[in-house]
Amino acid sequence: MIFYSFFKTLVGREVAVELKNDVVFTGTLHSVDQYLNVKLLNVKVVNHDKYPQLCSLKNCFVRGSVVRYIQIPTEHVDTELLQDAARKENAAKT
């Protein structure tokens, strides 16, 4: 739940999503769900010369299970808060 809550705070930001098939999309984070499925608006393929077949994609839904990384701008992330929250959640579990 912690990362679901975290991504909900990032809705509206530009993120880069790298999939497990090595394709990287940048776009505006529209929504996220508990499986970390992500919907992106106005997507651009980072390597569009390598993947010209994907150029016409505008908005897309990416299944959480195929995401390798989600790259976010560091200035929007309070890493201290995130570390604290993760520590608390792990302490509660054990």
Partner 1 sequence: MAATLKEWKNESVTVITCDGRIIVGILAGHDQVQNLVLKDAEERVYSMEETVELVPLGLYVIRGDNVALVGDTSSWEDSVQAEPLPAIFQHVL
Residues that bind partner 1 (CB under 8 A): 11, 19-23, 30-33, 37-39, 43, 50-63, 65-66
- For the purposes of burial, counting CB atoms within 10 Å of the CB of 56, is it exposed (0-12), middle (13-18) or buried (19 or more)? exposed
- Least CB distance from residue 65 to partner 1, whole Å? 8
User: Between 50 and 76, whose beta carbon lies closer to partner 1?
Assistant: 50
- Least CB distance from residue 69 to partner 1, whole Å? 14
- Which ranges of 14-78 would DSSP assign to H, the alpha helix? none
- Least CB distance from residue 81 to partner 1, whole Å? 23
The length of the chain, given as a count of residues = 94
**Spatial separation of the C-alpha atoms in residues 31 and 22, rounded to whole Å:** 22
